[in-house]
């Protein structure tokens, strides 16, 4: 019985190692780009839910960094073999928005808006340089959740 449990544990370890190896790695600026897009997507969903203009004004102020981060992610998809990298980015961003909508949709609107107040406040304070610094800080704080390229 112990041999069977050990073999099962070893199989699970090998499977997770193979799965991790199959997942494309991230370059440091790609982590930053993903963190920026996570922020933008969450902001979009919360602002829409709460009928707050923060998302539109955030985009107007930060269109250049947003475009930069989107280009970085397109390059990442391309580097990882995506033939239609722009379409892959669109699908990815749609997936993020859907996940955020589903997560936020489970709570009453008042709760989403109460919890999202800091996000909206942060978005209203971020200009291009601040947004880049914010994304870089989030990338640094969340780096351990990424498989980084060697």
User: Does residue 5 belong to any structural domain of this protein?
Assistant: no
Number of domain units in the chain: 1
User: Does residue 30 belong to any structural domain of this protein?
Assistant: yes
For the stretch 53-109, pLDDT in tens is 999 999 999 999 999 999 999 999 999 999 999 999 999 999 999 999 988 888 898
pLDDT of residue 23: 65
Taking the mean position of all CA atoms in its chain, how far away is CA 13?
A: 27
Containing domain of residue 100, as a range?
24-145
Q: Is the pLDDT of residue 8 over 90?
A: no
Give the CA-trace dihedral at 55, 121, 35, 32, to 10 degrees: 110
pTM score, whole prediction: 0.81
For the stretch 16-68, pLDDT in tens is 333 334 468 999 999 999 999 999 999 999 999 999 999 999 999 999 999 99
Give the CA distances from residue 3 to residues 7, 44, 122, in Å, rounded to whole numbers and listed in that order.
6, 52, 54
Q: How far apart are CA 34 and CA 27, in angstroms?
A: 11
Tokens of 80: 């990882």
| CA-angle at 100, arms to 126 and 141, nearest 5° | 55
User: Does residue 42 belong to any structural domain of this protein?
Assistant: yes
User: Does residue 62 belong to any structural domain of this protein?
Assistant: yes
DSSP letter assigned to residue 148: B
User: Does residue 108 belong to any structural domain of this protein?
Assistant: yes
pLDDT of residue 107: 87
The owner of tokens 């993020």 is 96
User: Does residue 18 belong to any structural domain of this protein?
Assistant: no
Contact present, 91 and 33 (Cβ < 8 Å): no
């Amino acid at each position: 019985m112990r041999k069977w449990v050990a073999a099962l544990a070893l199989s699970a370890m090998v499977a997770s190692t193979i799965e991790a190896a199959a997942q494309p790695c991230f370059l440091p600026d790609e982590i930053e780009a993903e963190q920026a897009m996570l922020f933008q997507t969450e902001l979009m969903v919360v602002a829409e839910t709460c009928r707050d203009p923060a998302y539109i004004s955030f985009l107007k102020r930060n269109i250049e960094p947003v475009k930069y981060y989107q280009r970085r992610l397109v390059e990442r998809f391309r580097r990882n073999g995506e033939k239609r990298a722009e379409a892959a980015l669109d699908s990815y961003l749609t997936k993020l928005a859907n996940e955020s909508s589903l997560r936020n949709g489970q709570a009453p609107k008042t709760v989403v808006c109460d919890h999202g107040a800091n996000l909206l406040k942060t978005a209203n304070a971020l200009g291009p340089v601040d947004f880049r610094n914010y994304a870089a800080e989030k990338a640094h704080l969340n780096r351990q959740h990424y498989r980084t390229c060697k």
